[in-house]
Amino acid sequence: MAQAEPVASAPAAPPPATPAASAAPSTGLTLGGPSTPAAAPPAPAASAAPSAPSTGLSLGGSSSPAPATPSGRPATTPAAAPTTPQPFPAPTAEEVRVLDDETPLVRLDPRQSAIGSLIVGGATATVWETVELVTGVATADGIDGTPVTTPGNRPLLGFDGGDAILALRHVHLIRRALFVGTAGHPLTVQLFDGESFAAADDTGAPPVVSLLRIGSRLELRLEPLPAEIPLETLLQQFGFEPTPYVVAREPRRR
């Protein structure tokens, strides 16, 4: 199942070996403006909520012809300031117990999205893609692609004690991720504030949960798959291409 948005097939320049991000993430502060931190990728087309309201940007101007003034010329309507599109309504972590065919989507609030660890139990593979399109995969066999280490010396996303853990202090580094489970067993998601929920595939296929960062919020979605498919095929269908891992070498000197 291909992602709605295009993904670069290869970076223009070789990525750094273990890209450590800057010590303090840029928040792109706008005084008095809407609360939007570091630039986030545009949200993919909403597919989980058919009745969701439109989130398209409203550009200035009236949709109906402006009434004519006494001079005969149509009155001009001052252009309205463009508004930041808000995401469509989605269930919160408090409202969801299980991600399934009926409720495949959950959206975390800014605090749940940025404090402590997002812990996914039951995963056999996890995939990450950063805002710089650095991509990697972690399984029990090791890591393919490029690992990403945060300024706090932790993997941005990786396995620890059998759980897949996302370091939320550096949530602004992540663009999207994937968690792959085992057929017949649910994935479990645990947040810092104690909220937790499961993700179960009713068809018996391995549950696959995608994670997307939209501004300051994380969205997790149960992805329906027709059957158990190889991890490599899954990565291709979601548009993940592991970034070649280049170990930094000492500069050559005379």
Q: Which residue ranges make up the site for other proteins (CB under 8 A)?
A: 23-27, 29-37, 109-111, 113-117, 119, 151-154, 160, 165, 167-169, 171-172, 192-193, 216
What type of residue is 70? P
Query: Minimum Å distance from CB 115 to other proteins?
Result: 6
Query: Minimum Å distance from CB 97 to other proteins?
Result: 18
The torsion angle over the Cα atoms of residues 175, 181, 185 and 190, rounded to 10 degrees, is: -30
What ranges in the chain are assigned the alpha helix state H?
231-238
Q: Closer CB to other proteins, residue 113 or residue 130?
A: 113
In the numeric block, the tokens 């670069």 are attached to 8
Query: Minimum Å distance from CB 95 to other proteins?
Result: 14
Query: Minimum Å distance from CB 233 to other proteins?
Result: 31
Task: Please list, in sequence order, all residues whose beta carbon lies within 8 angstroms of the beta carbon of residue 172, skipping any fewer than 6 positions away.
Answer: 25, 37, 38, 131, 213
The edge-to-edge listing of strands for the beta sheet with 163-167 is 98-99, 196-199, 187-190, 117-121, 163-167, 157-160
Task: Please list, in sequence order, all residues whose beta carbon lies within 8 angstroms of the beta carbon of residue 195, skipping any fewer than 6 positions away.
Answer: 93, 94, 112
Query: Minimum Å distance from CB 168 to other proteins?
Result: 8
Q: Closer CB to other proteins, residue 171 or residue 200?
A: 171
Q: Closer CB to other proteins, residue 37 or residue 44?
A: 37
Q: Closer CB to other proteins, residue 83 or residue 236?
A: 83
Q: Closer CB to other proteins, residue 13 or residue 247?
A: 247
Query: Minimum Å distance from CB 45 to other proteins?
Result: 25
Nearest residue to 189 via CA among 212, 211, 215, 169: 211
Q: Closer CB to other proteins, residue 158 or residue 206?
A: 158
Cβ neighbour number for residue 118 with a 10 Å cutoff: 27
74 to each of 35, 62, 167, 174, how far by Cα in Å?
Answer: 37, 12, 56, 49
